Amino acid sequence: MFSYKRRVKYYETDRMGVVHHSNYLKIIEEARLQWCNENIMDYKQLESRGCIIPAASASENFLDYLRFDDPFRVEVELKEYKGIKMTFAYKIYNEDTEALCYTGESSHFFAKENGNEQYLPYLSFRKDFPEEHKKLISLVKS
């Protein structure tokens, strides 16, 4: 289980003093990129080799609140990997209370960087990144 930890920043909260719902997608993206950096390779390095990983879908469940300066952790699991597409599961906990505040999933696909074109050609991670592909297979939640 991979954990990403930090504290809630003031700008992430709304007028009610809790993390605004839109910021959870940013938080899980931070956690996913850190997961990628530690488990596959630095995301910037992936991009320099012509690979981008756009989001295909995301779902969220808000269960409890996080407030300014609350310490929290994001647990990230690779739920599914198919060589072209992968799905992550997330849980966000308040580190002080251990309250489960959020659950969610996001799906992503591998694509070739192609400038400003709207069409993104799929990239076979299995073929183009064979060593990293093996790592991903070993990381899928069993």
- Provide the annotated active-site residues: 14
d(CA 131, CA 128): 9
d(CA 54, CA 67): 29
Token output for 14: 């709304």
Neighbour-count burial of 99, counting CB atoms closer than 10 A to its CB (0-12 exposed, 13-18 middle, 19+ buried):
middle
d(CA 86, CA 80): 5
